[in-house]
Amino acid sequence: MTAIHFSVKDFDEKVIKAKGLVLVDFYADWCGPCKMAGPVIDELAGEYKGKAVVGKVNVDENQELSSKYGVMSIPTVVLFKDGKEVDRMMGFKGKEGYEDLIKKAL
């Protein structure tokens, strides 16, 4: 399963107004660590289906969102619960790092 792609147009509807957990990966196509994180994010989307929504935001195409959420380096993963940021992780810490983030909030 692949992660959902969020944009400026649907971010509020799909992330901020969502009930439950939403993990958002802020990335860019040219970013090496983001390329390593991408398949892991897609894997998590399948594994946590029904427990958390897992998606991505391309920072080059959605600069307003990366600015609004203070994303200064990529990859940065921000975890929202009921529309509010509850945690974040900068850099790629492997699948375990992302899973720990989700499990703490479940």
So which residues are the catalytic ones?
A: 31, 34
Phi-psi region of 91 (alpha: psi -120 to 50; beta: other; left: phi over 0): left
Contact 40, 101 (CB under 8 A): no
